[in-house]
Amino acid sequence: MTAKSMTRAAFLVLTALADQPRHGYGILREVEELSDGEVQLRVGTLYGVLDRLTADGLIVLDREEVQQGRLRRYYRLTDEGVAALDAEAERMAAGAGAAKRRIAEGRRAGTPARPAADGPAGLELPTPPGLAGGYA
């Protein structure tokens, strides 16, 4: 899996495993915490992501334990997984930096702004050009 094609779920699962091996339920809880409750993976989705990350060599099975009669599989990052997570974090940071620079440049240039109809609260977007292509 390349950083370009990494899904948000894969990014969060890799991030959940960055500090220590975890079992499935532990990964689900950690992903929810990392996303401030915004992402709540379903079990089927999690295991699909784990299968893809394993096939891509980004994670491996660390160990298996039986707890209360149930088998728990613990996963950990590989060196390739650490590198992929680092590359994706860098890509995301660069994108966020570019967006912040563009916003600041627009404000310095005095670009008219309007509240975003569908965007996050407080985010201002440039007013769209009129029919002639200029600003009214």
Residue 3: pLDDT above 50? no
Q: Catalogue the E-assigned strands of the chain.
A: 22-23, 59-67, 70-77, 113-115, 124-126
> Using one digit for the tens of pLDDT, what is the confidence trace for 106-136?
888 876 656 555 555 555 555 555 555 444 4
Cα separation of 73 and 2, whole Å?
25
Question: How many C-beta neighbours within 10 Å does residue 101 have?
Answer: 10
Structure tokens at 69: 């009669």
> Using one digit for the tens of pLDDT, what is the confidence trace for 21-43?
999 999 999 999 999 999 999 99
CATH 1.10.3720.10 fits 3-112, yes or no: no
Tell which phi-psi region holds residue 133, choosing left (phi > 0), alpha (psi between -120 and 50) or beta.
Answer: left
- Domain boundaries of the chain, sorted by first residue: 3-112
pTM higher than the cut 0.85: no
Residue 92: pLDDT above 90? yes
